[in-house]
Chains A and B, each alone.
Chain A
Amino acid sequence: MSIDFYVAVITFIIIVVYFLFQISSIVPNFINQIEEQRLMSEAYQVSEILVNDIGQPKNWDTLIGNVGQISRIGLSDQNTNKTNLIATNKVDALRYMCLGQKGYMDVKHRLGMNELNFSVFVVNRQTGSIDTCAGEDADETTGLPRIKGFTATVTRILAFNDGTYGDLKVQVWES
């Protein structure tokens, strides 16, 4: 074996290793992007259910003492049944229902979020009131997970049925 053969083999190996590293850095990036898109999609769907669905049953806000009867949570005002118009009593009911980790898990299951964690902030931009629903792994002030990672955030602007307006922020992240 001549020296030039070894040089050629080593050069070839270096190039192949370089390409392997390149590919190994690109693939996770793509996977992350796909995962982020999935989380964004989940966050949007949860926001859509909360803002534009009345829940099941429609008077679920009167049943928080018997959570088993509640199938789905939606904040839309069932009396007017209009998009982007939510009922303040349902916001209150969501906050009460979400108290403690057990309450949070109850809400989580009724939003179909079994594999993901989330937080919901409902802010009235006229009165300044803030209603929150978040689990133990979320920061109480921001609603963001304590362990840093990608968090999908969707903010919906809406009106309350008392004539005021505000927004609803849904944040979703991997468990």
Chain B
Amino acid sequence: MKGQIPLVEVIVVSIVLFASFAIFFPGKVINNGWQDADVVLKGRDLMVTMDRIDKVHSFLSNPTEFADFMNRAVPERNFIYSLSVDGTVQPVVTVACNCTTDEIKNLLNWIGRVKLNGRDIQVDVIPTTLSPIQDSDVLVIWGKRDYFDEFPQMETDILNYIKAGNGVVAMANFTQTDGPDATYTKIFGIVNCENLPPPPAVPPGQCKNAGGTTIDFSQPNDASDENYYAYKFFKNMPIRSIVPQDTPPVPILVEPGTPACSEDGYPITFMLRDSKINYWTCPSSGTAYFDTNDVIGADKIVSDLDDFTIAGEEVSMRYVELNRTFISLGDYSFQDVTDQDEKKTRVYPVDGDTGKILLYNGEYQPGKKIPVATVNGSASNMAIWTLDFYSGTEVSHDKRLLLQSLILAASNKINKGASFGNLKIGSLTSYVNIANRDMFEPYKINLALGFPF
């Protein structure tokens, strides 16, 4: 018993010492944070470098070029990255169209490829029902729908679709007996002019046929007007015109005094209202040869960013490429294409807000424009109604540009791409930038970087 006491003491002291050691010197690995800091620093450096070499905008529409840049700039193999954009038109815009297969083909043919501020934008069109609506950036309802009251879920789904940041474009003609119903009023903010709520913005009895011969833009007073965004898109965006498929290059005939193209060119036709303007792209000089007077051959040579006149209209050549060009129209008036039956019943913004009227065809009375296209909502939840200019006839480039502008203005401007999820180390670097070659376009570009393991 006498010898056991010191041993017990030693054991107790040992336990106390071990416990004290564990408390005062915890065995931990020090994370100095440099690896995290390095990822953040790389993200910032990459983003700024992209801007310095003036590639931020083009990388958005050219993943191959971006991947090449990243592989050279960040040689580490286990590094993963992605680039996305918010606040402007996405590099790929998915249009869910409640329309026929032929109409989808037409949409793709007219606006399947867009170029804005040097950036290629791809427009994909997929078919959809109105309940449920396919995952997309903008919904196009082509033609008047008369069954909303029978299927109330459609209205709910469309409103939820808009609330999620997407847009809706409806192309519908109204007649005296078939005007906008309650669902159209709720979504697009328009009502038969005769049914305006009190006090009526246009007095009853004055909602009559008007004598407008052109369809004009109602210019926004400032950016707070709901029509501003769509107007801005039409005024600045170019529309594509292409060489018909399998068309071989041909010699370009030129009028005396016009320098000849040193090689054969590709013929293109541009339709403005009822006029067809013929021209050719000249591959060797990167210019387009226009026949503006329909005599002999080309009499006007234009290149990128040249302003010129065709069919009495001031236009601007934005891009000349081998087999396609992009032309913007600026201030423009459309020919009146509405038929007399449609003119019998006209609509008006239900809240009387003239800032919602995008296009108009004359006036009910002074200051009370007759809408042909209206915009309801802001840039992040836009519902646009327009008369259906697009069924049954050859659609000119000015109308294509209008449709392109409406669809892209209404489209979702927030990236829906998959996020990185759980990474060992990761960082997201955002950079606000502005492009202004064709249209003033502020946007936020996001570069995600990380190590998966």
Contact = CB atoms under 8 A, between A and B. Distances in A.
Interface stretch (A58-66, A79-87, A89-97, A139-147): A79-87
A8 B52 contact: no
B48 A84 contact: yes
Which one of B30, B42, B49, B72 has the greatest number of beta carbons of chain A within 10 Å? B49
Interface in A137-167: 154-159, 163-167
A116 interface: no
Interface in A26-62: 26, 30, 33, 36-37, 40, 44
Nearest to B11: A11
Interface residues of B, number: 29
Contacts of A82: 52
B421 to A, nearest CB: 25
Contacts of A30: 30
Contacts of B13: 12, 15
B452 to A, nearest CB: 20
B2 interface: yes
Contact of A4 (B6, B21, B41): B6
Contacts of B177: none
B21 A159 contact: no
Contacts, number: 79
Contact of A40 (B4, B14, B34, B72): B34
A159 B53 contact: yes
B21 A8 contact: no
A8 B73 contact: no
Nearest to A156: B45
A30 B10 CA distance: 31
B17 interface: yes
A15 B41 CA distance: 47
Contacts of B34: 37, 40
Contact of A19 (B6, B17, B42, B72): B17
A23 B25 CA distance: 8
B106 to A, nearest CB: 42
A157 B53 contact: no
Given A19-B17, A33-B32, A125-B73, A85 B3 contact: no
B2 A2 contact: yes
Interface in B29-72: 30, 32, 34, 38, 41-42, 45-46, 48-49, 52-54, 69, 72
A46 to B, nearest CB: 14
Nearest to B46: A157
Contacts of B305: none
A7 B49 contact: no
A155 B17 CA distance: 46
> Dominant SS at the B interface?
helix
B73 A157 contact: yes
A129 interface: no
Nearest to B73: A157
A85 B52 contact: yes
A115 B41 CA distance: 26
B274 interface: no
Contact of A15 (B17, B32, B73, B74): B17
B311 to A, nearest CB: 40
B201 to A, nearest CB: 52
Interface string A113-149: 0000000000001100000000000000000000000
A158 B4 contact: no
Interface in A8-29: 8, 11-12, 15-16, 19, 22-23, 26
A167 B69 CA distance: 12
A30 B27 CA distance: 12
Contact of B52 (A19, A84, A154): A84
A85 B53 CA distance: 9
A157 B71 CA distance: 12
A4 B7 contact: yes
29 contacts: A2-B3, A4-B3, A4-B4, A4-B6, A7-B7, A8-B10, A12-B14, A15-B13, A15-B17, A26-B25, A33-B32, A36-B32, A37-B32, A37-B34, A40-B34, A84-B48, A84-B49, A125-B73, A155-B42, A156-B41, A156-B45, A157-B45, A157-B46, A157-B73, A159-B49, A159-B52, A159-B53, A163-B54, A165-B69
Which 4 residue pairs across A and B have the least CB separation, nearest first?
A4-B3, A159-B52, A8-B6, A157-B45
Given A16-B17, A22-B21, A26-B25, 9 more contacts: A4-B4, A12-B14, A37-B34, A40-B34, A44-B41, A83-B48, A85-B52, A157-B42, A165-B73
